[in-house]
Structure 1
Amino acid sequence: MRTDIFARLDREPEPPKIEIPRMSRTRLALFGGTLAFYLAIVVAVLISSWLVIIDWKVMLFRPYQQWPELHAFLDYFVVLGQRGPTAVMVAAWLGWRSWRQHTVRPLLVLGASLLLLNATVGAVKLGLGRLGPHYATRIGSPELFAGGDIFPSGHTANAVVTWGILAYLATTPRARRYLSALSAVVALGVGLTTVYLGTHWLTDVLLGWAAGLLILLALPWCETLIGRTETIILSLRDQLLSRRLPMPSLPVASGGPRPAIYPQRLPSEDGGEPVRHPVGAAGAARLPGGGRSTVSGTGAPAGQGAAGTASAAGTSGSTATARLTQTRPHTVARSQHAPHASHTPAPAGTRRPPRSRPVAGG
């Protein structure tokens, strides 16, 4: 068993089956109820109902002046509802899960939810154009169609969606329960913090909670498109990897065919055509007379100025192999033949090998 720290970084095997949420009757009923609540809040603000009066009472109460000791902490806590920091944190965690589970679905679900959030919440913000509490002009007015962009609360809706995605993508019922409670606490706290800081009306927060919950409840309708997108992305990844990875080299089995031997060109000393000596893997070169010379550590053939040692091996008819030690480099011409065993070696210092002579008395 591996005990090093990198053992924990190994990707876990692909889960046998990742449960994908479906649009069940319960979820459909929750979606319909949340949508009705969403529309009721919008209508109540449009007609300046008692909810608008509550908005003004809370704003004039000024919670940030009643409990100033909470201001420093809540200034940092409200960051959990900002789109940029929360998207980066959650995307990092889901990217790690995608790598370990061999899938890109978590990242695609996060991207689809953020796209729906920007489209729906942004459209309502710009369409209603409500001003915030700090920019209100008339007491008791809903401050609609005045060029604002705070209705519904983007911080609140983003907190519901971003942290709720963790519960939506949970793979076990226990993890789903814990993550649902955690995301609900964070979303509730972020919404009330914006009311405390005076950046949103209370009805902004109510509509933000409803807007974020609607996106989470509608995500199963996007699962088919998410699955098709994942298939396309994985197929493109496989194509790119197949083009970039080199072809694996096959090992040569023992006793099988050897790699091709490329000839080595050695220049002829008399200015003639260079002589080709095939060089094998072991560094041995065949001489024109049928002999065999070895290549020294410097890469030059050996064959002159050394004493040969021969050893007989095998039965009758086997040939002796001479191992020659090189003293200085030389070349061998095409027209020369290997020296006979009875010939006298050339004097030391000469560059040309001895020429063959007829044996007397032959």
Structure 2
Amino acid sequence: MRTDIFARLDREPEPPKIEPPRMSPTRTALFGATLAFYVVIVAAVLTNSWLVALDWKTMLFRPYQQWPGLHAFLDYFVVLGQRGPTAVMIAAWLGWRSWRQHTLRPLLVLGASLLLLNATVGAVKLGLGRQGPHYATQIGSPELFSGGDIFPSGHTANAVVTWGILAYLATTPRTRRYLSLGSSALSLGVGATTVYLGTHWVSDVLLGWAAGLLILLAMPWFEPVIGRAELAIFGVRDRWRAYRRAARRAPGGVRPGQPPLRPAAGDEDEQPRKPVGAGRGPAAPPACPSGGTGTGTLAQSRTHHPVRSDHSPITPAGGRRPPQSRQVTGG
């Protein structure tokens, strides 16, 4: 029995039975409530309501000046909401899980969630064009349609999705519960940090939380597509492996399905010709005109097909030599 620490890194002999979450009535109700909250926040900013007034009060309060000692730490903490670093960290962990569990589902779920995040949050950012607190020009204005891209908060939505996807992919209820609490605290902290640093309005953070939660709640609807994509990728991998095995076993390096090589045109004369009567027994000795060793006649010797060197050279017209007479003496 192995007792070293590296034994824990061994691949499981049998992949565990993982049941993806389903769109239960509770999850559907939460999705509807979160969507309603999302619409309310957008409407409150569009109508320049009390929420915009709260944005300006918080911005003019300048939290980063009230508690300057937290600034150095929070500058690093907010990186946990940036898409690039968090995606690399989560992808590395889920890649190891995919290898250990013999499945591509963790990586495909992460890719699908990030794709949905970029599409939905990016579209709203560009459509509303809101400027951030540092670029605001008119006090009390919602700063919409000004060419900005601050609403909703991308840091907050990304923190909800990337860290919440770990809880979504948990295999036990207890693990899912703990990861849900940890990812919620982390996403709340990232959103509050952006308000402290003055890079986002309060309404930006509220909409970012709602946007990320909507993606997590909607992921069961995309599970069938993810399953088909996994089967397609494994099918391509299996065909490629079979092709490589067949190519290694093929004689002479000929790939399966490739026709055998044939001599090029004009190379027939270069191939050695098989002598007449080969394979029918020992060949008869050739006839010798001088009668030294041959036993055939001149007529029999002429039936032998001469090779190319036996032909007399061809000279220009009118200059051909007359054929020399040959005498055959009996032996």
TM range (shorter): 0.7 to 0.9
Give the letter aligned to residue 103 of structure 1. Answer: T
What letter matches 1:21 in structure 2?
Answer: P
How far is the alpha carbon of 1:245 from its aligned partner? 3.5
Structure 1 residue 80 corresponds to structure 2 residue 80: yes
TM-aligned CA deviation for residue 4 of structure 1: 4.4
Q: Within 2, Cα distance between the matches of 1:238 and 1:160?
A: 36
Alignment partners' CA distance in 1, 2:4 and 2:245: 29
Q: Which residue of 1 aligns with 2:199?
A: 199
Q: Is the 8 A contact 2:153 2:208 kept in 1?
A: yes
Specify the alignment match of 1:94 in structure 2.
94
* Cα deviation, residue 247, structure 1: 8.5
Over aligned residue pairs, what C-alpha RMSD do you find?
1.4
Q: Which amino acid aligns with 1:184?
A: S
Counterpart CA distance in 2 for 1:15 and 1:137 is 58
Quote how far apart the aligned CAs of 1:248 are: 9.6
Question: Structure 1 residues 2 and 243, CA, compared in 2 at 3 Å: closer, same or farther?
Answer: farther
Structure with the bigger RCO (C-alpha within 8 Å, sep 6+) is 2
Structure 1 or 2: larger helix share?
Answer: 2
Q: CA deviation at 1:240?
A: 1.4
Shift of 1:60: 0.2
Per the TM alignment, residue 130 of structure 1 is displaced from its structure 2 partner at its CA by 0.2
SS in 2 for 1:65: helix
Provide the residue aligned with 1:176 in structure 2.
176
TM-fit CA distance, 1:3: 3.6
TM-superposed deviation, 1:6: 3.9
Q: Which residue of 1 aligns with 2:138?
A: 138
CA deviation profile, 1:310-349 (whole Å, cap 9, x unmatched): xxxxxxxxxxxxxxxxxxxxxxxxxxxxxxxxxxxxxxxx
Cα shift at 1:15? 3.5
The two structures have a TM-score, normalised by structure 1, of: 0.67
SS in structure 1 at match of 2:150 = coil
User: Equivalences for 1:341-352 in 2 at 5 Å?
Assistant: none
- Residue 126 of structure 2 is matched in structure 1 by 126
Q: Which residue of 2 aligns with 1:19?
A: 19
TM-score by length of structure 2 reads 0.73
The within-5 A match list for 1:30-179 is 30-179=30-179
- Stretch of structure 1 that moved more, 239-248 or 2-11: 239-248
Matches within 5 A, 1:176-255: 176-245=176-245
Show CA shifts across 1:134-172 (max 9, x none): 000000000000000000000000000000000000000
Q: Hey, what's the Cα distance between the residues in 1 that align with 2:126 and 2:14?
A: 44
2: CA distance, partners of 1:221 / 1:190 = 28
* Number of positions where the alignment pairs a residue of Structure 1 with one of Structure 2: 249
Confirm or deny: 8 A CA contact 1:159 1:187 kept in the other structure.
Answer: yes
Output aligned runs, 1:317-356, within 5 Å: none
Aligned partner of residue 94 in structure 1, secondary structure: helix
> Does the Cα contact within 8 Å between 2:94 and 2:107 map onto a contact in 1?
yes
Q: Give secondary structure in 1 for the equivalent of 2:75.
A: helix
8 Å contact 1:161–1:213 — kept in the other structure? Answer: yes
Structure 2 runs not aligned, ≥5 long: 250-331
Could you tell me which amino acid in structure 2 is paired with residue 43 of structure 1? A
Q: Which amino acid letter does the alignment assign opposite residue 17 of structure 2?
A: K
Structure 1 or 2: more strand by fraction:
1
**1:12 to partner: Cα distance:** 1.2
Per-residue deviation, 1:86: 0.2
- CA shift, 1:7, in A, is 2.5
The alpha carbon displacement at 1:237 in A equals 1.0
Q: Distance in 2 between matches of 1:5 and 1:24?
A: 40
Counterpart Cα distance in 2 of 1:134 and 1:247: 63
Give, in angstroms, the shift of residue 5 of structure 1: 4.7
**Secondary structure at the counterpart of residue 145 of structure 1:** coil
| Counterpart for residue 311 of structure 1 | none
For the residue of structure 1 that corresponds to 2:18, the secondary structure is coil
